[in-house]
Structure 1
């Protein structure tokens, strides 16, 4: 059994398709099939069954998947440890960030990091807070950055920055140009929300609850999967929202959105990492750069 065979097996299991696994690994379909067949024949166990044009793990394959992923993670950790012996001249850093952070806060920091450590390849993925936490917990990322609350004892959260949540409407909304409306009026207009599981959604509901307005009191017009979609909908009059000042700023500058009053709340941006693993040098270097401000 080789690491290459394990990588092929895990990729095929995740994608559920031999051809797609080959494309992801830059291998031919026959090479993927041969690697899987070699594993199955060597151990006399069927790992996949065909379902339509795709493949699906058997019960034995499901059990083997977690073991294969653990072996690959240990191999990657060993490779990172060897890389770190040469300092920060080469290597890779796998990051996962929630949308507000990935779109607005993190890019300038990563640019500075690249200028300082050009030999470190940065692999950055985006998801909502729940997805980031899951990626870090599953060791698909060395470190994650989130703006929502994460309740996972396997993860360590370290505050790295703060962000303001503001009440926003379109430039032509009846509230535009005024201060924050009385809380009793908040249920009288339509609202645009982020999807459940996002840090922005969590913070919005908490901020409104602090004003005595529960989620059930809101007239929800739309639930959308990104800050950009929310801002676009609000700009054309779909309703009000509570969103990061960072996310709203570009459309406010264009005159499409209006911020009503002072911030409703201040939230922390946190770095997430597995609690049972020490920080690598690249992670330490990135956190140190963030602390510099």
Structure 2
């Protein structure tokens, strides 16, 4: 059994999808499939059911998954120890972030950090609040960045920036007001449940005594870009980060409704009991020192 085989197994188990797992590992689908097959053959146990084009864990796979995650976390801990001994001139840092942060807030900070520490390899994966939180808990990521806040006993949290959601519609629509009744009269395109954007917007509505369940959500899409494309070409509304919608407001494709939503936090996550590597500590300090 090799660490590469374990990594392939965990990646597929967590995503229930061979191609997405291969993309996360920067490997070909055939390489990931071969690694899992070799692991199954070596130990004489089936870890996945192949059902048509889908893949799902067997009972044995579900029992094996926690131990595999733990072994990978321990291996990363040993790698971090070697990084400690070498200082922060080289090493690897594994990050996960929700989409708005990963696409807008993190990139300039990653580039400046890379300029200061060119020998450090940065691995960033996208997710949503739920998947990023799970990654930091399991040890798949040392640091996570989410929109909003969470209550998770295993994790320490720190606000590193703030952001505002804006309600937008196509510029072609005639809708200048934004009372509670106005919002309830609109159709909506929303991010998926579990995303920080969706959670923050629903919390903001409740603060205005509006029940999110009363919104007419006609479509749920998995990315900011997909939501934007749908809203720009329809009569639907959405709520997205100011950083996401600003270019489209400036070029006249979208208009913002005059409904003020409270600021939300961009939050850094780390495990309370799992020591950070030297490079992760350096990046955490960098983010806290240069929040905006």
> Do they superpose with TM above 0.5?
yes
- The verdict on how the C-alpha distance between 1:119 and 1:64 changes in structure 2, with shifts beyond 3 A counting, is same
* Alignment coverage as a number of residue pairs: 280
> 1:62-107 CA deviation, whole Å, 9 max, x = no partner?
4344223312221221111111221111111101000110111111
Please, what TM-score do these two structures have when normalized by structure 2? 0.84
- The verdict on how the C-alpha distance between 1:284 and 1:139 changes in structure 2, with shifts beyond 3 A counting, is same
Three-state SS of the structure 2 residue aligned to 1:73 is helix
**Unpaired stretches in structure 2, ≥5 consecutive residues:** none
Distance 2:157 2:122 in 1: 21
> 1:236-280 CA deviation, whole Å, 9 max, x = no partner?
233122221111112112211112336411000001111111232
The aligned counterpart of 2:251 is 254
Cα displacement (A) at 1:37: 3.8
1:267 to 264, 267, 271: 264
Query: Is 2:69–2:138's contact at 8 Å kept on the other side of the alignment?
Result: no
The aligned counterpart of 1:162 is 162
**In terms of Rg, which structure is larger?**
1
The aligned counterpart of 1:220 is 217
Cα displacement (A) at 1:10: 5.0
Query: Is 1:169–1:234's contact at 8 Å kept on the other side of the alignment?
Result: yes
Query: Is 1:137–1:155's contact at 8 Å kept on the other side of the alignment?
Result: yes
The aligned counterpart of 1:77 is 77
Greater alpha carbon shift after TM alignment, 210-219 vs 91-100 = 210-219
The aligned counterpart of 1:139 is 139
> 1:103-155 CA deviation, whole Å, 9 max, x = no partner?
11111111111111111101111011111111111111111100033232111
1:48 to 46, 49, 55: 46
CA RMSD in angstroms comes to 3.0
Query: Is 1:164–1:263's contact at 8 Å kept on the other side of the alignment?
Result: no
Query: Is 1:18–1:32's contact at 8 Å kept on the other side of the alignment?
Result: no
Distance 2:18 2:174 in 1: 55
Cα displacement (A) at 1:7: 3.5
- The verdict on how the C-alpha distance between 1:187 and 1:69 changes in structure 2, with shifts beyond 3 A counting, is closer
2:278 to 281, 284, 288: 281
The aligned counterpart of 1:174 is 174
- The verdict on how the C-alpha distance between 1:32 and 1:201 changes in structure 2, with shifts beyond 3 A counting, is closer
Residue 206 (structure 1) aligned with residue 203 (structure 2): yes
Three-state SS of the structure 2 residue aligned to 1:48 is coil
Cα displacement (A) at 1:58: 5.5
> 1:181-216 CA deviation, whole Å, 9 max, x = no partner?
222322122222111111111111111222222113
Query: Is 2:188–2:217's contact at 8 Å kept on the other side of the alignment?
Result: yes
